[in-house]
Structure 1
Amino acid sequence: MTRVAIIGAGIVGATAAFYLSQEEGVEVTVYDHGVGQASKAAAGIISPWFSRRRNKAWYRLARLGADFYPRLMEDLAAAGSASQAYEQTGVLLLKKKEEYLDEVMERALAKQAESPLMGDLEFWTRDQVQERFPGLTGFDRAFWASGGARVDGAVLVAELLQAAGLEPLRKEVSLTWDGDQVLVDGQAYDKILLTTGAWLGQVLEPLGYQVDVRPQKGQILDYQLDQVTDNYPVVMPEGEADLIPFKTGKLSLGASHENDQGFDLQEDRQVLQKLIEQMAPYYPAITDSQPTGVRIGIRAYTSDYSPFFGPLPDQPNTWTVSGLGSTGLTIGPLLGRELALGILGKTGDLDPADYPVERYVTRD
């Protein structure tokens, strides 16, 4: 029996737990202190193909992360869980200078051969948009990609853990050395997986590690509309404010990107008001709507905005991952599966050398 401890039950930890639980001879224990989970601050948009980032390793990870979702849905279904968290309803991109949409189309067409999941690519008029998302205004045309998707991170995490038959132990654990072995609250495990996001530095500090990861606060407003929003597309104007419609009238607006708030989880009405003001020219109804709630979480960023995963330096039995940033829901499930495979000594679709832990985690 291989005993595995997973510290952190966000999207990465939950996915790793699900895949490890499907293996014979593997016993999984999940710990989570239940505070500030980045999945709560993720807007829930799966649409990485239109990014202008030139980091090839990052884009490959993001592209494969989006591609992985249909496989994840199939694996959950095979395990007896029909997921309600992910759905391809398309994505609409809006630009203040609409001639820039031509550049978006050009970049998308260049990537479409290797990314067929992005689906049909079209320019839509305002009337066409109104048919799919009534009330949108402030533009003459939009860029449409049918393969864009929405995902409810909190729902997906719950589904993954339920399918794994696991209930996280709600506690903040401590790591200590026993010779050259890492212990979790004094207990020895065959393998340890640290999926603690922005808290990785705090978790590893007692072991003498320094970690290049900083926290970024994210806030999202949730609304309940008296409309059938099941097939509404995601709307992505320029700026931080995006509209993510879910089923049964649920609508999310966000998310903020606050780099100077540390681990603060308090609601900031000024920041939330800015999100509303950014969206108001495109969806005026947002100014008259009352939010039903606010979600706040902490994302993890490295100094060069690149994620990393793999075993700790000189610790082949302790694996980690962090630095996912605002693409956590896009790349998190794939990384969770890759980590599960790595812990089992199997090869995945990614080369950890392209996302080296030792660049961001060091020990004197």
Structure 2
Amino acid sequence: MRIVIIGSGIAGAGTAWQLARRGADVVVVDADHAGRATAAGAGIVSPWNSRTLESEELAFHAEGAAYYRTLVDDLAAEGAGETSFAIVGGLVVSPDETWLREFHGRALERARRWPEMGEVSLLDPAGVAERMPLLAPDLGAVHIAGGGRIDGRTLRETFLAAAAARGARLRSGTAELEVRSGRVVGVRVAGDVVEADGVVLAAGAWTASLAASLGVTLPVEPQRGQISHFGVGGPGDEPGTASWPVVSPVGSGHYMLAFPDSRVVAGATRETGSGFDHRVTAEGQREVLSEALAVAPGLADATLLETRVGFRPVTPDGRPVIGALEAHPEVTVLTGFGAGGLTIGPNAARLAAAAALGERPDIPELFRPERFDGAA
């Protein structure tokens, strides 16, 4: 069975690997658009930190975080490369002790349901400083031991390499759906038709235009995110960033995390209505720096290494779109991850792969394409 995947971000690359390991003949077509969300993203994998997710949505994100434990083992068993995933713990930080005590109680309830959270503890500012020395001295925190972090670029490359090792092929170019007698039979790339039994639309913020060519309306739009990378420590210093926890400040949509190469990542803006304007803007940079320094004044002397720009695929209800199209069951959609792509992406790719193979995976109804009138 041949399946063509359009897009090679975390969604497309993850689906390619899942399908290839199940014996499908996989072709990945990628247009290499500037601003792919995965290329910009450095992600916190700790949905239990969330103050906005609840019920089925929180459960789905928690399932995505738990899946990383299996994913890393499966990729290692295949001799695949580094995933970059590490469990470093997560800090939900605030100067408000009353709020932290209330959230601590909620987090303990969540931990009873999701053991992957690990130990949940309430930290005073001294305890916070021991774990993340850059933070403001008045911040307490709820510490969630199971919080993790991931570098999207690294994981994508590992997925694609593991898929290629099982025979998947990658083609560069802009794909158009090939339709005959009302059915999608493949894609056209640079004038060539790649025949397929099924197609997966995993083109992130660019997915809507592909669906529109079938008369299907998917309200997925780009949301620009600007995210900055900082170098900390001087020549020869080893600040120990590999073990620093991910940080979620209360009252802010921004976050902070660190990687082993003395690099701290902070962001990100959420610019709905930006279109595909791939620029680092003065206002975006100001917002990132202001938010970062308010939480971590210790970053003031860091080196600003780069600022990346990515377009998150977002939907009106803020939920992902996963599953086969009712009008075209040969087409599976995987997009709309918003800011949670690196948490839910790999597990969502597993579900999309099953759907593309004609199975009926357990995809929550609130994530299915048919919830949108134009996609039914």
Question: Same-fold call, TM > 0.5?
Answer: yes
Aligned equivalent of 1:262:
275
Q: Who is 1:175 aligned against?
A: 177
Instruction: Give, in angstroms, the shift of residue 353 of structure 1.
Output: 3.0
Aligned to 1:275: 288
Deviating more after overlay: 291-300 vs 81-90 = 81-90
What amino acid sits opposite 1:129 in the alignment?
A: V
Partner residue in 1 for 2:32: 34
Other-structure match for 1:187:
194
**Aligned-residue offset at 1:86:** 0.3
Give 2:245's match in structure 1, choosing from 222, 233, 253: 233
Give the equivalent residue in structure 2 for 1:158.
157
Partner Cα separation in structure 1 for residue 149 and residue 375 of structure 2: 39
Over the residues paired in the alignment, what is the CA RMSD in angstroms? 1.9
Aligned twin of 1:68:
67
Shift of 1:325: 0.7
**More displaced, 39-48 or 321-330?**
39-48
Cα distance in 1 for partners of 2:365, 2:28 equals: 27
1:249/1:164 CA distance change after superposition, 3 Å = same
Runs of 4+ in 1 over 6 A off after TM superposition: none
Q: Does 1:107 align with 2:119?
A: no
Q: Counterparts in 2 of 1:53-64, with a 5 A limit?
A: 53=52, 55-64=54-63
Matched, 1:197 2:204: yes
Moved more, 68-77 or 203-212: 203-212
Q: CA deviation at 1:4?
A: 0.7
Moved more, 28-37 or 283-292: 283-292
Structure 1 residues 41 and 96, CA gap change in structure 2 (3 angstroms): farther
Contact 1:41 1:255 in 2 (8 A): no
Cα distance in 2 between the residues matched to 1:361 and 1:320: 15
The secondary structure found in structure 2 opposite 1:240 is coil
Give yes or no for contact 1:42–1:255 (8 Å, CA) kept in 2. Answer: no
Give ranges in structure 2 of 5+ residues lacking alignment. Answer: 234-238
Instruction: Decide whether aligned partners of structure 1 residues 244 and 54 sit closer, same or farther in structure 2, where only a CA change above 3 A counts.
Output: closer
Partners of 2:303 and 2:296 in 1: CA distance: 14
1:309 and 2:307 aligned = no
Q: 1:224-252: CA deviations, max 9, x gaps?
A: 22323111111111313321101121211
SS in 2 for 1:44: strand
Aligned AA for 1:30? Answer: V
The CA distance in 2 between the partners of 1:162 and 1:54, in whole Å, is 33
Amino acid paired to 2:337: L
Query: C-alpha distance in 1, partners of 2:88/2:52?
Result: 24
- SS for the counterpart of 1:315 is coil
1:93–1:143: 8 Å Cα contact kept in structure 2? yes
The CA distance in 2 between the partners of 1:120 and 1:363, in whole Å, is 43
SS of the aligned residue for 1:316 comes to coil
Residue 125 of structure 1: how far off its partner (Å): 2.2
Length-normalised TM-score, structure 1: 0.94
Deviation at 1:347, TM superposition (A): 4.8
How far 1:221 moved relative to its partner?
0.5
TM-score under structure 2 length normalisation: 0.91
Counterpart secondary structure, 2:304: coil
